[in-house]
Amino acid sequence: MKVLANDGISQAGIDALTAAGFSVSTNNIPQENLIDEINNSNISVLLVRSATTVRENLIDSCPNLKLVGRGGVGMDNIDVEYARNKGITVINTPGASSQSVAELVMGHLLAISRSLHDSYKNMEYGDFKTLKKKFAKGVELRGKNIAIIGFGRIGQSLASYAIGCGMTVTAVDRITDTCSIPLNLGNGISASAEITPTSSMLEAIKNADFISIHVPKQEDGSAVFGKNEFDQMKNGVRIVNAARGGVIDETALIEALASGKVAAAALDVYENEPNPRVDLLQNAKIACTPHIGAATLEAQDRIGTELAESIISKFGAQ
């Protein structure tokens, strides 16, 4: 059985699939040529990340396709229900990248608290004394309130890091069951914290010093955070989005930054990937990364291994 990992897969995943008798290709086929490649090469399993889309036309045009796998959490680049209704198995790896995304968010929280992103850009050519004065108004994380919007695996992993930094966590989720958050603090020290999410996002963001977003892209394409939501926030709030582009109304965000309502923001995802708006990238109050939330060596190994195990479990050794 042939597997095409169009957006790549870790060597650990390749090794596991190969050992089970699967043929694995990691050639990156342009979207416009993907249907022909799947049919001409008799591909049964298509693995993607966020770059490749699997829409109805591809599903209808590839009758031999048996499984589509998403290396990561969100599957908005796949017409999941349509594929499943056509008898195609659709899988993802919801837990494999949680820690990596949470650590990126923590990096962004620290960066926008101390303007590290802007400082890095200016140090080579700026005047040292001027820059020292410009960047001398940072804030600390300890003792601050963070609202985590979406309290699934990534949100819970982020909560463990935030609590470890001394932050107070308010979780927002449709499911309001109490969660026990494990705190692995290093040096063999472990503990746990009980967090009960609220279903009221507006109440949570009113008191938040920091906000981190971990919700899927809305089916109707609407933003979760627009002008109304920004108006509800306290002045000087800092926001991180490592979930999906379009969750934040980017025009409303730029206006909130200009007014001072939002002190700083960090974005790992954008409405128009892979070509984000230039005014976002050039804004000194926004720390930008190129959708790298799950892009650690450890996460990629876990993703590849989890995909391989799911495929082998589905089809057996070849």
pLDDT digits (tens, 9 = 90+) for 163-215: 999 999 999 999 999 999 999 999 999 999 999 999 999 999 999 999 999 99
Q: Are residues 115 and 227 in the same domain?
A: yes
For β-strands 179-186 and 237-241, DSSP reports them as: unpaired
Q: Are residues 15 and 112 in the same domain?
A: no
pLDDT digits (tens, 9 = 90+) for 68-109: 999 988 898 999 999 999 999 999 998 899 999 999 999 999
Q: What is the CATH number of the domain that holds 137?
A: 3.40.50.720
Residues in the chain: 318
Provide the pLDDT confidence category of residue 220 given band limits of 50, 70 and 90: confident
- Can you give the pLDDT at residue 95? 87
Can you list the positions of beta strands (E) in the chain? 2-5, 23-25, 43-48, 67-70, 89-92, 145-149, 168-172, 179-186, 189-195, 210-213, 237-241, 262-267, 286-288
Q: Are residues 117 and 11 in the same domain?
A: no
pLDDT digits (tens, 9 = 90+) for 140-149: 999 999 999 9
272 burial type by CB count under 10 A (0-12 exposed, 13-18 middle, 19+ buried): exposed
Q: Output the six-digit token pair for 253.
A: 């965000």
Domain count, the chain: 2
pLDDT digits (tens, 9 = 90+) for 24-55: 999 999 999 999 999 999 999 999 998 999 99
Read off the DSSP letter of residue 216. P
Q: Are residues 156 and 261 in the same domain?
A: yes
Catalytic amino acids? Answer: 244, 273, 291
Report percent pLDDT > 90 for the chain: 95
Q: Are residues 85 and 169 in the same domain?
A: no
Q: Are residues 201 and 308 in the same domain?
A: no
Q: Are residues 38 and 106 in the same domain?
A: no
Can you list the positions of beta strands (E) in 20-92? 23-25, 43-48, 67-70, 89-92
- Can you give the pLDDT at residue 192? 97
* Model pTM score: 0.89
Q: Are residues 139 and 210 in the same domain?
A: yes
Which residue pairs, CB below 8 angstroms and at least 24 apart, start in 127-133?
Answer: none
- 179 in Cβ contact with 171 (< 8 Å): yes
Q: Are residues 82 and 227 in the same domain?
A: no
Q: Are residues 174 and 228 in the same domain?
A: yes
- Whole-angstrom Cα distance, residue 1 to residue 29? 19
Q: Is the pLDDT of residue 254 over 90?
A: yes
What is the residue range of 87's domain?
A: 2-94+297-315
* Radius of gyration of the chain from its Cα atoms, rounded to whole angstroms: 21
Q: Are residues 114 and 194 in the same domain?
A: yes
Written as one letter, the residue type at 228 is N
